[in-house]
Amino acid sequence: MKEYTIDLLSLPIYQQMIRIFYVDRCMVKWAGMLLSEHNEQMKETEGKSDGAR
């Protein structure tokens, strides 16, 4: 039986997985959206609701 080494980055499926989910500087990028951006959006909506009180 022969052994083969495969460069995972050469596989399109693996490239997509890396693109969709990776950790960089403690931020998780998932499906093209930074969670930190989502948190900023949530803070803005909370700020608007606080102003309406």
Q: Is residue 19 part of a domain?
A: yes
Q: Is residue 42 part of a domain?
A: yes
- Give the pLDDT confidence score for residue 31 in this predicted structure: 46
Q: Is residue 2 part of a domain?
A: no
pTM for this entry: 0.25
What would the DSSP string read from start to end of the chain?
-------GGGSHHHHHHHHHEEEETTEEEETTEEHHHHHHHHHHHHHHHHHT-
- Give the pLDDT confidence score for residue 13 in this predicted structure: 75
**Per-residue tens of pLDDT for the chain, all 53 residues:** 788 787 766 777 776 666 655 555 445 554 455 556 666 776 777 776 655 54
Q: Is residue 1 part of a domain?
A: no
Number of domains into which the chain is organized: 1
Domain that holds residue 29: 8-51
Q: Is residue 3 part of a domain?
A: no
